[in-house]
Homo-oligomer: A and B are copies of this chain.
C-alpha cells in the first residue's frame, strides 16, 4: 500500500485483489444474515456532520468554479452519521427493524504531518428499530461479527464483551454522575497508558484512594475464571438498578451466543471494556487478534445505542451495530505477510498467442473457457512466447494454454501448469473439461 498523496493510500493490483477478497467475504456474510446493502452519498450537510459533536476533522467542499459559493457540504467522517440522517429522512419508506450494511470510504480532514489515513474504508453493519429493538439483536450482531471474521483467512482473534450499564452503574457508586463519562474515557485508554498515568488521572478527577481501590478491584473482576465464573461473580454484586440491568442484558446476550455455539476462545466477558464513544448505552464489544498480533489493535467493535437519530428527528430509533476497520486490517495483514498477494490478475488461465496472425483463434479459445466460468485472459500483444510466459508468471497465473499454427489447425493445444511445470497436450474440443479438472 503506497500513497501518492500523503494520507490517501492506494493498493497495487495484487493488494487490491487481496483487499477485495476480504470485502467480498464480509459482504457475503452480511447478506447471509439478511442485511441489505446501503450506499449513502459521500457528501453530507456540514450541519449534519457537526450535529453530534465537535469533531472538526472534516473536509468541507467548495466549487472550484465559484470559490465564494456557500460552503454547506462536507465529506462524511464515519458511516453512523449518514445512517442516522438516512433513517430520519426515509423512516416512512423503510421496513423496521431496518438491517443494513455499508462498506464505503470515509474521510478525515487531518493535518498531513499526522501521517495518518485521510481516506479509509469502514465496514459497518447495524440494525435499527422503530421505537424498540429487542436485546437478541445485540447477540446477533456479535455472532455475525464472530462468524464473518472466522470466515476470513486471518489469524485467531477474540471478542471482549460487556455492557455499558455495568461499568456506568458501578461508577455511579464511587463518583458523581457528571464524572462518569470522563472515567469511562480514561478506562478506554487503560491499555495504552502507564499505571502511573492512570492513577494520576484519577487523582486529578479528585477520586479518593478508597474509591480508586474499589474501581481497580472491579475492573479486575473479569481476570479470574471463565466466562461463567465472571458472570456469576458480577451477579453477586448489587450496586444499583442500572448495574443489575446491564448484568441481566449481558447474561441474555451471552446465553444466546452459547446456544449458537460461539466458542469460549472467541468471546471473553470483560469488565474493563469501555468503548470510549459516549453514545453506547448497552451491549459493547471489541475484537482484537490474540496475543502475538496484539499490536494491530482493534479489528472490530460496536455496541448498542439508545437513539440513533437524537439530533435529527423527534422519533426514537434504537440500534445496535459494529464496524470492521477493514483498510487498516488488510494493510497490516499484507505488511505482516498474512494475506496472499501473488496474483496480479483475477483470472486463472492465460491463453498465449504464439502466432499473432491467428489472434482471433486464441481469443475464441479464451471465450470458450469463459463460457464455463473460467476466468481467462488472452495475450493480445505481438510478442515472443517467452515474453508471454514471463508475463503469465509475473501476473501469478496458474495455467497457460499454448498452441502454434499447426496445433490450432489440428484442434490441439498444450495446457501447462505454471506451478508444477507439468504440461499435457489436450484436444481443444475437451478443453473446458480439462481445465476444470485441474481447477477442482
Contacts and interface: CB of A to CB of B under 8 A. Distances in A.
Interface of A: 2, 4-5, 8-13, 16-17, 19-20, 31-46, 56-67, 71, 73-75, 85-86, 89-90, 93-95, 97-100, 105, 107, 109-111, 118-119, 129, 132-134, 136-137, 139-140, 143, 255-256, 259-261, 344-347, 350, 356, 359-361, 363-364, 367, 370, 373, 375-378, 380-382, 391, 394-395
Contact of A61 (B60, B89, B94): B60
A64 B45 contact: no
A259 B363 contact: yes
Contacts of A109: 61-65
B33 A119 contact: no
Contacts of A41: 4-5, 8-10, 119
A40 B10 contact: yes
Quickly give the copy total for this chain: 2
Contact of A86 (B4, B58, B143, B255): B4
16 contacts: A4-B86, A16-B37, A16-B39, A32-B376, A34-B347, A46-B64, A57-B63, A60-B64, A63-B111, A95-B391, A97-B380, A129-B381, A134-B381, A136-B359, A260-B360, A260-B364
A61 B64 contact: no
Given A59-B64, A256-B360, 6 more contacts: A4-B89, A34-B375, A58-B65, A60-B62, A95-B391, A260-B363
Query: Could you say which of A118, A350, A394 has the most chain B C-beta atoms within 10 Å of its C-beta?
Result: A118
Contacts of A260: 360, 363-364, 367
Query: Could you say which of A9, A31, A105, A136 has the most chain B C-beta atoms within 10 Å of its C-beta?
Result: A136
Nearest to A129: B381
A64 B90 CA distance: 28
B13 A94 contact: yes
Chain A: interface secondary structure? mixed
Nearest to A347: B34
B73 A64 contact: no
A394 B13 contact: no
Contacts of A350: 34
A59 B57 contact: no
Nearest to A34: B377
B39 A11 contact: yes
B42 A16 contact: no
A134 B277 CA distance: 56
Contacts of A344: 36, 95
A330 to B, nearest CB: 12
A140 B347 contact: no
A385 to B, nearest CB: 16
Contacts of A382: 134
Contacts of A5: 41, 43-45, 73
A345 B46 contact: no
A90 B4 CA distance: 9
A8 B256 CA distance: 41
Contacts of A12: 90, 93-94
A381 to B, nearest CB: 5
Contact of A133 (B10, B39, B381): B381
A256 B16 contact: no
Contacts of A40: 10
Contacts of A58: 63-65
A125 to B, nearest CB: 13
Contacts of A133: 381
A298 B14 CA distance: 33
A89 to B, nearest CB: 5
B16 A370 contact: no
Given A43-B5, A136-B363, A16 B38 contact: yes
Nearest to A104: B105
A344 B96 CA distance: 11
A150 B427 CA distance: 29
Contacts of A86: 4, 10
Nearest to A130: B381
